Amino acid sequence: MPMFYRLLADLIVVVHFAYVLSVILGLVAILMGRVLKWDWVRNRWFRGLHLAMILIVVLEAWIGFTCPLTTWENQLRSLAGQSTHKGAFIADYVHELLFIDAEPWVFTLCYTLFGTAVIASLFLVPPRWRKSQTV
């Protein structure tokens, strides 16, 4: 059973990484989409989800709430008999990309600045709120 918990913990690391990557690449895509005239980056559902994802991170940082994915991973690692933040080969590398050593205020500042950039992108590349109607 410890191997099962370890695999679940490793899976959570990958999901966590995918979340972070989608927030970062989402903003990159939005900005590139403006230049390359990609209409899909103005999709209201995509933009709303992207904004919600970064606002969750910013809110967690401001209130000092540990990300549920991190908490869940740590609990599963404990159940697997592992020290926290150690996993399989790939999970270790993904984890090292996600978690760097810095003071909490540094992360709060970075998340807040990134969140501000996402909000600014709403004005720079405004989403389509309604489908255009042809008469």
pLDDT tens digits, the chain, 135 residues: what are they?
A: 889 999 999 899 899 999 999 999 999 999 999 999 999 999 999 999 999 999 999 999 999 998 999 899 989 999 999 876 555 555 566 677 777 788 888 889 999 999 999 999 999 999 998 765 555
> Residue 39: CB partners within 8 Å, gap ≥ 6?
33
Q: Find tokens 């004005």 and name the residue.
A: 123
As a 3-state breakdown, the chain gives helix, strand, coil percent values, each rounded to 5, of 75, 0, 25
Q: Find tokens 């807040």 and name the residue.
A: 112
- Cβ pair 2, 87 in contact under 8 A: no
